[in-house]
Structure 1
């Protein structure tokens, strides 16, 4: 919320430095052999809070750094970056850990320092537009919630994003739990997640090209319906490579929709509310995803993997019906 009131570049710079300091302290502790659990937990909380602050401030910068015709490409590249990190990160972390336990922590701290340097180097004016005197945190939060709920398109984004994140999380962990129950090796289970990550990366790279050539409403409805048979296919998969390919197909589809919705959300929202809008949408999307591992484990244990996958397919169908009913709204929001 403060990112809509305070200068964004100093917030990004300071948040990156705080995250670097938090991870740097853990690196020092591990390197010296004086690791305390409470210290590690506190450092993790500080790093997450700093990252969230950085993300909130950065969510309001696209409009200042990129012309409107470039929003789609910029958001697509950001999606591709996130997917690439998910693929490369675990492997790189494992390789660095083989050198020494403290090396991945040092690399993490250095990466935050690099982010701070790059944030400091931004020349554009990232100060948010202000209207009226500064208000309290709770008032800013309430204003952001009211704005998102008052905009029919943003309400659609909240519902669709939260639903998709919850279902995708459930499907990912269903595939992991089902594969483990069938005796799959850790490397085979890792293959599932790698294939899904590769699908997401390819989908993010292709998203700007698709968005320029296919109407926005058709992308949202078509992708929503395409997830239904993919989820249903997981109910009848019995090999890890099949799980991986099916999840890769879902991951390939989602980025185009995300690019469409995020681009239009930026265009719909006034500059002074961009950070609050991003926080509300991000919280709605990620909040339900946190429960996915527990929910997937409980449901698979209680009803079996096939039932859970078919239930997810039914829920995807419900979201697809909702997206179809709101297709006109998406088309009206198109630039």
Structure 2
């Protein structure tokens, strides 16, 4: 579907481009710092004499906190406190990691202090991520959102390469340094957010966005698109946003929707009512589960083949570099082929790659196949995330993103358990075969005519 050009004045477009760069730097700094500490935290706990079950318990508890908190934090972000939430979250995370780094420089901190710092950072990062969702839609017009999402995804992939390497290097020098570097990354992120000049308050039903094009009936189209009676995704948007419009504004919606839990569920209602958003949640959750399972498949396969940490590090570095290339290639692929072709094609291509991973044992062969998975996967992922921005009203961006984050995080938490069970009960290649079967079902779903129609309508 052809999108109208931005009607924002040049000064506003210039400020938006500057703020997009600031958002990129905040995202990149946060990703590198988090990956640096995430890579060395298990080593730190083991070095301090804690058993592996403690390592797993801390990881599980922190993941659960993120799952429970994300939908609730998204409510004040969507209601106008987006920038304040991002700043407060960055400050809390910087204090938590800085305090842990200081404690480590002074000696061996108790496990209670480590757990408190890790949970405080998880609360902060969850809050920041929830508030940051939808910022792209507020900073740049629709035609530019795909490239911005691509660059943010590239920053995430780059952090997977730089972060663990930096964390390992700093840990060799001093066990406190990775956590001090993480604290510094949050300070950088806070300064970038503080320097943004754009209004990050999402326009609601009573506060229209002056830069958004308007359809003939006078309503602001969700995501900046001109409303169209024949667009399936747009019809879903209208139905889901009806909760807010019928209630007469956010205040009355809160009273009729059951308070904070009711507001938090608005994102879930929108996902259920919008075919494209349902596809985004299903696709991203399934593929995230597959990628994490294949990672643990790599750990099991390489360990059983007698390969050490260097081989695993090389596989992860290659996969991160491939993912970076795939994320950068997504906008060009979308312009040439369209999302309705790319998403099914990528999903079908992932099927034989996953099955082949069940048949190899060598580090080079596994690294090559896993890198190919990470190369093609972001091409579809970036397109779907961009489509989700266009299918979501600005006032629901954070809550809708929280639904996606909750399902994908839950899949990531479940993946190691499934990989371990399949390996123990069957064989080393069983997780990869299970991933191939799941991808085949997903690929068949993406080729259905209604799904391709939703992709062509909004994700194109």
TM-score (norm 1): 0.97
Q: Report the more deviating stretch, 114-123 or 150-159.
A: 150-159
Q: 1:103 aligns with which of 153, 168, 177?
A: 177
Distance 1:200 1:110 in 2: 26
Unaligned runs of 5+ in 2: 1-74, 205-248
Equivalent residues in 2 for 1:123-142 (5 A)? 123-130=197-204, 131-133=249-251, 135=254, 136-142=259-265
8 Å Cα contact 2:138-2:202 kept in structure 1: no
Distance 1:314 1:298 in 2: 17
SS at structure 2 position matched to 1:46:
helix
- What are the Cα deviations for residues 7-58 of structure 1, in whole angstroms up to 9, with x where unaligned? 2111111110111011111011111115121111111111011111111111
Distance 2:194 2:435 in 1: 44
Distance 1:292 1:19 in 2: 27
- The Cα of 1:223 is off from its aligned counterpart by 0.1
Unaligned runs of 5+ in 1: none
8 Å Cα contact 1:191-1:241 kept in structure 2: no
| Cα RMSD (Å) | 1.3
Distance 1:132 1:179 in 2: 54
Q: In the alignment, which residue of structure 2 is the partner of 1:176?
A: 299
Q: In the alignment, which residue of structure 2 is the partner of 1:312?
A: 435
Q: In the alignment, which residue of structure 2 is the partner of 1:274?
A: 397
8 Å Cα contact 2:203-2:394 kept in structure 1: yes
Q: 1:197 aligns with which of 299, 320, 343?
A: 320
Q: 2:409 aligns with which of 281, 286, 289?
A: 286
Q: In the alignment, which residue of structure 2 is the partner of 1:155?
A: 278
- The Cα of 1:307 is off from its aligned counterpart by 3.2
Q: In the alignment, which residue of structure 1 is the partner of 2:114?
A: 40
Q: In the alignment, which residue of structure 2 is the partner of 1:55?
A: 129
Distance 1:289 1:179 in 2: 21
SS at structure 1 position matched to 2:88:
helix
- The Cα of 1:132 is off from its aligned counterpart by 2.8
Q: In the alignment, which residue of structure 2 is the partner of 1:333?
A: 458
Distance 1:51 1:178 in 2: 32
SS at structure 2 position matched to 1:278:
helix
- The Cα of 1:96 is off from its aligned counterpart by 1.2
Q: Point out which structure has higher relative CO (alpha carbons under 8 A, 6+ apart).
A: 1
8 Å Cα contact 1:207-1:259 kept in structure 2: yes
- The Cα of 1:310 is off from its aligned counterpart by 2.1
Distance 1:329 1:206 in 2: 22
SS at structure 1 position matched to 2:100:
helix
8 Å Cα contact 1:178-1:305 kept in structure 2: yes
- What are the Cα deviations for residues 88-116 of structure 1, in whole angstroms up to 9, with x where unaligned? 11111111122222111111101101100
Distance 1:334 1:206 in 2: 16
1:234 and 2:357 equivalent?
yes
8 Å Cα contact 2:80-2:200 kept in structure 1: no
8 Å Cα contact 1:23-1:108 kept in structure 2: yes
Q: In the alignment, which residue of structure 1 is the partner of 2:149?
A: 75
Larger CA Rg, structure 1 vs 2: 2
Q: In the alignment, which residue of structure 2 is the partner of 1:86?
A: 160
Distance 1:296 1:16 in 2: 34
- The Cα of 1:305 is off from its aligned counterpart by 2.1
8 Å Cα contact 1:7-1:128 kept in structure 2: no
Distance 1:178 1:294 in 2: 16
SS at structure 2 position matched to 1:126:
coil
Q: Report the more deviating stretch, 161-170 or 119-128.
A: 161-170
Q: In the alignment, which residue of structure 2 is the partner of 1:250?
A: 373
1:187 and 2:305 equivalent?
no
TM-score (norm 2): 0.71
1:64 and 2:182 equivalent?
no
8 Å Cα contact 2:138-2:394 kept in structure 1: no
Distance 2:172 2:423 in 1: 35
Q: Report the more deviating stretch, 182-191 or 79-88.
A: 182-191
Distance 1:92 1:250 in 2: 25
